[in-house]
A = this chain, B = another copy of it.
Amino acid sequence: MSTTQTNKIEIIKAATSKINEVDFENLSFGSIFTDHLFECDFKNGEWQKPVIKPYAPFLLDPSSRVFHYGQAIFEGMKAYKDEDDAIWLFRPDENYKRFNKSAVRMAMQEVPEDIFMNGLKELLKLDEAWIKRGKGNSMYIRPFMIATGTGVIANPSDNYKFMIILSPVSAYYAGEVKVLIAEHYSRAANGGIGAAKAAGNYAAQFYPTSLANKQGFQQVIWTDDATHTKLEEAGTMNVFFRINDTLFTAPVSERILDGVTRKTLIDLAKSEGINVDVRPVLVSELVEASKNGTLKEIFGAGTAAVVSPISGFSYQDVYHELPNNEDSMALKLKDKLTNIQNKIAEDTFGWTVKV
């Protein structure tokens, strides 16, 4: 291992690379990590010296607050390589802002912009060989922060660890996605933490999702917990509904994550002349539109799966199959978006940022 300093980040390089052990043709999402990680600790009331070092397990006290009280947040973003091997990020400022919004809601320390952004960029540069060119290929970036303060008392931690890890991913076909509309279980409360990318929000969905899986549905579309009449979002995706030629999606709220893909697709759709209506969408409207044939598409939108067409939904034990569309808006928007992300089409929106 060799030690150098770049922009105040200490860099400890791995003695050898694991890259040759990786089969880039058969990547399973989020399971392979690059040679290095970025780490910065908050303790004694301040952020300590950031460091990039070999990816490896680290030590935590058994009474660390992350284990007992769940102070843990994360982000999900991607980096892309263009034909000239330049590395690009997609709207990283949105992820940075959302990360600190999550931090505030979970009573955690906000991460300074230079630590987040420089850490991210230096790490990507160091492990750049792991980023593959070509549409669908990207580097999935996982910034996260956990409470490392000790003591089993239900108070916010004094100490935090902020880390960034990188996982190379390729385009993936999720298979057919059938969804179940939630009638009893919920992912978020009014006045709760649904709008934060808090770790606890995800574990909360696993059990109801496993019940849906057993019935043959890959995902759940959550509804508002008070009435279960309004469509909200899926586990890791916001959701769009196409009725005739208008796209509908729920407004973001304290129950719904303000997805970067969602807001990007809204702008892209508008620029294509598609009518987009952001308003609460009722389950009853969806059922009605399905019955009278005006419901054309449903799709999820999120960084991991980009745009994920849904083939049908179940509500009150009735399965509604969606039609096959020649002119799928989902696929059209996905194509537009990935062309911009992979620097194949011009980015007239100024969304892409060079590392």
Contact = CB atoms under 8 A, between A and B. Distances in A.
B153 A68 contact: no
Contacts of A187: 189, 192
Contact of A31 (B153, B190, B210): B153
A202 interface: yes
Interface string A177-216: 0000010111111111100001111111111101000000
Contacts of A74: 67-68
A307 interface: no
A203 B206 contact: no
A258 B29 CA distance: 38
A265 interface: no
Given A192-B186, A198-B203, A206-B155, A61 B57 contact: yes
Contact of A193 (B37, B204, B236): B204
By DSSP majority rule, is chain A's interface helix, strand, loop, or mixed? loop
A146 interface: yes
Contacts of A278: none
Contact of A152 (B58, B62, B167): B167
Q: Which of A107, A165, A190, A203 has the most CB of B within 10 A?
A: A203
Interface residues of A, number: 70
Contact of A68 (B144, B147, B208): B144
A136 to B, nearest CB: 17
B70 A199 contact: yes
A204 to B, nearest CB: 5
A331 B189 CA distance: 35
A239 B313 CA distance: 41
Given A106-B203, A198-B200, A200-B200, 8 more contacts: A66-B199, A68-B202, A104-B207, A140-B152, A142-B152, A182-B191, A186-B191, A186-B192
Interface of A: 29-31, 33, 37, 55, 57-63, 66-72, 74, 76, 104-107, 140, 142, 144, 146-147, 150-156, 163, 165, 167, 182, 184-193, 198-208, 210, 225-228, 235-236
25 contacts: A30-B151, A33-B62, A33-B63, A58-B62, A60-B60, A67-B146, A68-B74, A69-B202, A70-B70, A70-B198, A70-B201, A70-B203, A71-B203, A104-B207, A106-B204, A106-B207, A107-B203, A142-B152, A147-B203, A154-B202, A156-B206, A156-B210, A189-B189, A198-B203, A225-B225
